[in-house]
Structure 1
């Protein structure tokens, strides 16, 4: 049952140490690599994000099945007893993309399904690519969307795939993850500009850590058929989660926060938040095995933000600018419309409650803060989207009473979020 919470904040300072969970993006990739490695690769610091728990519960059935989001009637185990199993991944979008590729080259029949929202999120581009490779995949309901049936019969027909670069990088990553297992290897030809390039770079870097060699020349990524090497993949804390603490620092009058485990040489594209937030007066100093954040007085001059390489930071940065009354323009938001919700529409709807408009003009989004005001009370709809809840939560620093819809939605990526907020002076109360 969904429940709301009301957030309040005493004072406008934030000081403390926050231990973040492992990166969901890194961990999901690591789990697929581990599953494909025939026992040679191990993963440490597995994230407790619901999406990762779901994926781990499917790929590693011995990991506390009760914590997973998998449907109770799932019969999938490491030794399948039935010819076809149904796997319900709920709202876990990454799991849907990665498992589609994983099961496509396997030898077991599986029906992949998910939540109602998941059934509205496209999968056709990846399915078409896998069919070209030789997979047998059919749609159970609507063409191009889950649920999908994978027959478990795979014979590789080609070693070359062309895929558009301006779609979700998770499609490309899914193909790259299975490439070393393909008898003929794989060449992925990327058409046009590559959206979210850092996520593809993360995938290749993690494959390399596991002993997989690749070549990336111009728009072609080539991975030969090859074995994994014995290694342990240590997952770094989540930079996406760190972004909300940068937001809190930016909206505070005074802030000194320490986030252990984060490094300046991260594989995660969202580590660019250090550069973005420098414009908001937040310094990042890497020492003591983590990053220290400190708020300094600095005029906010930057007015253009390109989020093409870090779309998961878009809500955070846009909400900060709106809260500060800083009119800015944003590009690279195209993929936000096919996430857990239409994030552009969700932002437009919620920002309007404080008089701010997010205006779309030919894929350029402009904040109009001319009518901005700070309400005494505000209700934030979350649209089954964890990032909506966490991007708006810091507004409790400036809004006396902030009600957040469906507080449990943060479990998707950051289950301890509300508890961590209390460590720096936020107060949360369940709304009856």
Structure 2
């Protein structure tokens, strides 16, 4: 075992527990931008403890206070040679949302992150902001962070075109700042919209903050307008819930209760309730919260379109593989530009179980004929929180599951390993 890994195991195949999840990272990060643009008129409750949210909150709070030297999570704000630099570490959502926020608020600063962050494209968003009148310079490779922002911002148009099939975060970043723009925003989405539920979440939260919008066909219009005094309460994170669905699916018997999750959720990842029915896991909402139960039914269905919920892809693919389910997946286009190339990472790690994830154009096929479970498997995480958490449930099938760089989970679910222990998993480091 390496110095920076843990070994996960479980003495029995049954799982019965109640787990309180942190607030949604997706909702929290949107709410923080609304709070900042509204000068505090939009109050946020039950903020996520995820590192991405801690980082974004730290940048916004310290900018508001006029500070130029602060550390928060794995991010920081520093001043050197008269230049303010916000380092948001691995926080991809913070990079996209702050790019729009710093542009339209005329905040002179450099925005940077980890080496992997500097490899993640952002040109589509900076081009769109440039159409509006933002002056953004690339401080390194063109089309990628770091970015340098000018204190000068003068809106020249309200019409912006942006591709819809790359990342919904680009669209959300523009929508969040739209009410602040003097001329408002008329956003034309070109082609198919990837992860539509995330855009719908953004607009629903903006409505809670008093913002009116119009969405006709491929055009979303938002006028310049004031925020109202309001409160946004963050629901627990459905992405985090997905790992408990995986545990239920791989358990022999299970009953897991996740308090405060809503049947009618803004989060697109709530679709996990429907997806996991294919693996014999049923959901019900009670006075205690969401109850997920293994029914013992055989897996059903073999085709999954995950374009509206790509953050569930690793979880669902690993469960399918572990159950020997020769499934086909589509809607995975954005996975290659996430924290890591998630397609390649999945292919590498599933191969350790004899499973092949084969790419065929826009479809991906699982081939599980050689599936086996060694007594000891080492899982690399590739600096990706979802790789660690998606593979962790395999401890129900593998006697010693070694996870390298387990601290990556702080990005979205800091208490993940503690919660596994509450559910009867054993952790040795």
TM superposition score category, shorter chain reference: over 0.9
- Cα distance between partner residues in 1 of 2:301 and 2:357: 17
Structure 2 counterpart SS, 1:418: helix
- Cα distance between partner residues in 1 of 2:3 and 2:79: 28
Which residue matches 2:58? 57
Aligned positions of 1:59-98 closer than 5 A: 59-61=60-62, 67-71=72-76, 74-75=78-79, 84-98=83-97
Which residue matches 1:31? 32
- Cα distance between partner residues in 1 of 2:208 and 2:270: 20
Q: Is the 8 Å Cα contact of residues 88 and 112 (structure 1) preserved in structure 2?
A: yes
Q: CA 1:129/1:52 → structure 2, altered by over 3 Å: closer, same or farther?
A: same
Provide the TM-score with structure 2 as the length reference.
0.97
Which residue matches 1:200? 199
- Cα distance between partner residues in 2 of 1:367 and 1:75: 49
Q: Is the 8 Å Cα contact of residues 315 and 347 (structure 1) preserved in structure 2?
A: yes
Q: CA 1:237/1:65 → structure 2, altered by over 3 Å: closer, same or farther?
A: farther
Which residue matches 2:7? 6
Task: Provide the alpha-carbon RMSD of the alignment.
Answer: 1.6
328-337 vs 295-304, which moves further: 295-304
Which residue matches 2:147? 148
130-139 vs 57-66, which moves further: 57-66
Q: Could you give the per-residue CA deviations for residues 38-88 of structure 1, whole angstroms, max 9, x where no partner exists?
A: 2211111111100000001111237996543223x6249xxxxx9631000
Q: CA 1:289/1:160 → structure 2, altered by over 3 Å: closer, same or farther?
A: farther
Q: Is the 8 Å Cα contact of residues 106 and 149 (structure 2) preserved in structure 1?
A: no
Which residue matches 1:166? 165
Aligned positions of 1:392-411 closer than 5 A: 392-411=391-410
- Cα distance between partner residues in 1 of 2:288 and 2:59: 33
Structure 1 counterpart SS, 2:144: coil
Which residue matches 1:348? 347
Shift of 1:152: 1.6
- Cα distance between partner residues in 1 of 2:56 and 2:151: 19
Q: Is the 8 Å Cα contact of residues 83 and 109 (structure 2) preserved in structure 1?
A: yes
- Cα distance between partner residues in 2 of 1:301 and 1:34: 44
Structure 2 counterpart SS, 1:375: coil
Aligned positions of 1:252-267 closer than 5 A: 252-267=251-266
Which residue matches 1:291? 290
34-43 vs 20-29, which moves further: 34-43
Q: Is the 8 Å Cα contact of residues 8 and 428 (structure 1) preserved in structure 2?
A: yes
Aligned positions of 1:403-422 closer than 5 A: 403-422=402-421
Shift of 1:107: 2.6
Q: Is the 8 Å Cα contact of residues 137 and 151 (structure 1) preserved in structure 2?
A: yes
2:316 is aligned with 1:317: yes
**Structure 2: segments with no counterpart, 5+ residues:** none
Q: Is the 8 Å Cα contact of residues 260 and 289 (structure 2) preserved in structure 1?
A: yes
234-243 vs 278-287, which moves further: 278-287
Shift of 1:108: 2.5
Which residue matches 2:42? 41
Aligned positions of 1:216-235 closer than 5 A: 216-235=215-234
- Cα distance between partner residues in 2 of 1:30 and 1:161: 23
Structure 2 counterpart SS, 1:111: strand
Q: Is the 8 Å Cα contact of residues 243 and 393 (structure 2) preserved in structure 1?
A: yes
Give the count of matched residue pairs.
Answer: 424
Which residue matches 1:365? 364
296-305 vs 138-147, which moves further: 296-305
Q: Is the 8 Å Cα contact of residues 83 and 108 (structure 1) preserved in structure 2?
A: no
**Structure 1: segments with no counterpart, 5+ residues:** 77-81
Q: Could you give the per-residue CA deviations for residues 236-263 of structure 1, whole angstroms, max 9, x where no partner exists?
A: 0000000000000000010001000100
2:136 is aligned with 1:134: no
- Cα distance between partner residues in 1 of 2:28 and 2:288: 20
- Cα distance between partner residues in 2 of 1:281 and 1:39: 45
- Cα distance between partner residues in 1 of 2:83 and 2:105: 12
Which residue matches 2:18? 17
Structure 2 counterpart SS, 1:184: coil
Q: Is the 8 Å Cα contact of residues 396 and 402 (structure 1) preserved in structure 2?
A: yes
